Amino acid sequence: MADNNTTVQAAADQGDSKLSLDKQDATQNTASEPDEQNKSNRKRWLRSLAILLIVIAIIYGIWYFLVGSRHASTDNAYTNAESAQVMALVSGPVAQVFVSDTQQVQKGDLLVRLNPDDQKISLAKAEADFAAAERKFGQTSASSDALSQAIVAQQANVEQAEANYLSAQSTYHRAETDYNRRRSLVESGAVSRDEMTAISNALEKARAALLQSHAAVDQAHAAKEEAIGNFEANQALIKNTTVSTNPQVRAAKAALDQARLDNSRLEIRAPMAGVVTQRQVQVGQRVNVGTPIATIVPIEQIYVDANFKETQLGKVKVGQTATVKSDLYGGDVVYHGHVVGFSGGTGSAFSLIPAQNATGNWIKVVQRLPVRIALDPKELRAHPLRVGLSMEADIDLSSKN
């Protein structure tokens, strides 16, 4: 009986042990099912991510082949313009100022007026000098006739002096002959000594008259040469000229024209249409030639200087179309333009202290070259820009140049 109980007890214990093992196996199977699920989900997610990346790479490759490789873009771009610096061209005090900073002006608008008193005096003096030059030319022309007559008169004096010289020469020869003939008779007593003295005095007198007449001839010739010189000097001032082509008259006329020009420059006007900036004069201030008055910025002629990397410029050509966006208006406003040229050098090449690359610690840095882009004037009028604004530029490399 005891053995039976023992057997029953062993069977029961064996049954309980088997039941416990079954429960443990069930628990392990239940725990492994989520792990398998997580691994499956992770693999699925990784597979999806890989597919997505491949799709993105394919899309980017297609975009770059069709679009990206045909465009060069940069956000390192700024607006600029060929501003006009207005300067005073004559000296004088400022009488009136008609503009202020930020004011829009048109070409020819009056900016500043200078006091005219100084220029009026200069103009009056130039007019007087011009009139005096014309009168002097007329006087010189009239003097030529008088000097010509003076030459004729001096020629007559020369002829008269030469005739007097011939007469004095004849008188001297006659006196000399009488003297020689009577001197041989003095010893014989045929001619008295008193008579001989008189004849000797007559000879000396004739010699003196001859010398005097000879000097008169030389003087007459000198006077004639002087008259000829005066005539030629006078003719040199007016020869082959008229009152309008005479050098002195033309010089005086040029001075008069300069005075009139300076008088017209008392009113300083805008050389172009644009916006007034940096006005530097006030009423009462005295300005000299070259004094800055103001700067005119032509906002309808603004262009863009886009600083592209040198690696982007291989296919950029003059004439290619470009689109530009401004930080001022955002992406809603797009400007259209075209490439008009390239700068002669990079920014670092023209900096105050150029880069010294010939050193041992040199590091290569990609340089940027300014590219000028002209904008559509109609779009500029619709959405005005100012100098120095930040821009984003994109050049269509596939466009015809």
Q: Give whole-number Cα distances, 287 to 90, 116, 283, in Å.
A: 8, 13, 10
CATH T-level fold of 119-261? Helix Hairpins (1.10.287)
- Listed as own residue / partner, the contacts of 327-335 with beta carbons closer than 8 Å and 24 or more positions apart are 327/389, 327/390, 327/391, 327/392, 328/385, 328/389, 329/383, 333/383, 335/375, 335/376, 335/379, 335/380, 335/383
Q: What is the pLDDT of residue 360?
A: 67
What is the mean predicted confidence (pLDDT) over 269-275? 93
Alpha carbon distance 249, 261 (integer Å): 18
Q: What average pLDDT does the structure give for the chain?
A: 81
Q: Quick one: pLDDT band at residue 57, thresholds 50, 70, 90?
A: confident
pLDDT higher than threshold 80 for residue 256 = yes
Task: Count Cβ atoms below 10 Å from residue 397 Cβ, excluding itself.
Answer: 17
Give the model confidence (pLDDT) of 80-95 as tens digits: 999 999 999 999 999 9
The CATH code that applies to domain 73-82+298-396 is: 2.40.30.170
For 23-52, how does the pLDDT look when each residue is reduced to its tens digit (9 = 90+)?
Answer: 555 555 555 566 677 777 777 787 788 888
Structure confidence by residue, pLDDT tens digits, 358-376: 676 777 788 899 999 999 9
Q: Is the pLDDT of residue 99 over 80?
A: yes
Residue 361, φ and ψ in degrees, nearest 5? -100, 35
CA distance 95 to 116: 9
Domain boundaries, the chain: 73-82+298-396, 84-113+267-296, 119-261
Give dist(CA 119, CA 125) in Å, integer.
10
| 3-state secondary structure at position 295 | strand
Mean pLDDT in residue range 376-390: 91
Architecture of domain 84-113+267-296: Beta Barrel (2.40)
Angle at 55 between CA 54 and CA 56, to 5 degrees: 90
CB 68 within 8 A of CB 398: no
Structure tokens at 398: 């596939």
Least confident of 109-118, 197-206, 254-263, 327-336: 197-206
Interior/surface letters 226-245, b for 16+ CB within 10 angstroms, e for the rest: ebbebbeebbebbeebeeee
Model confidence at 4, in pLDDT bands (50, 70, 90)? Answer: very low
pLDDT in the model for residue 44: 78
Provide the whole-model pTM.
0.62
Residues paired with residue 337 on neighbouring β-strands, in sequence order? 322, 375
Asked if residues 291 and 88 have their Cβ atoms less than 8 Å apart, the reply is yes
**121-125, 279-283, 394-398: least confidently modelled range:** 394-398
Higher-confidence position of 143 and 401: 143
- pLDDT confidence of residue 354: 72
Hey, how many other C-beta atoms are within 10 angstroms of the C-beta on 199?
19
Asked if 274 and 296 count as a contact pair (C-beta separation under 8 A), the reply is yes
CA distance 90 to 307: 41
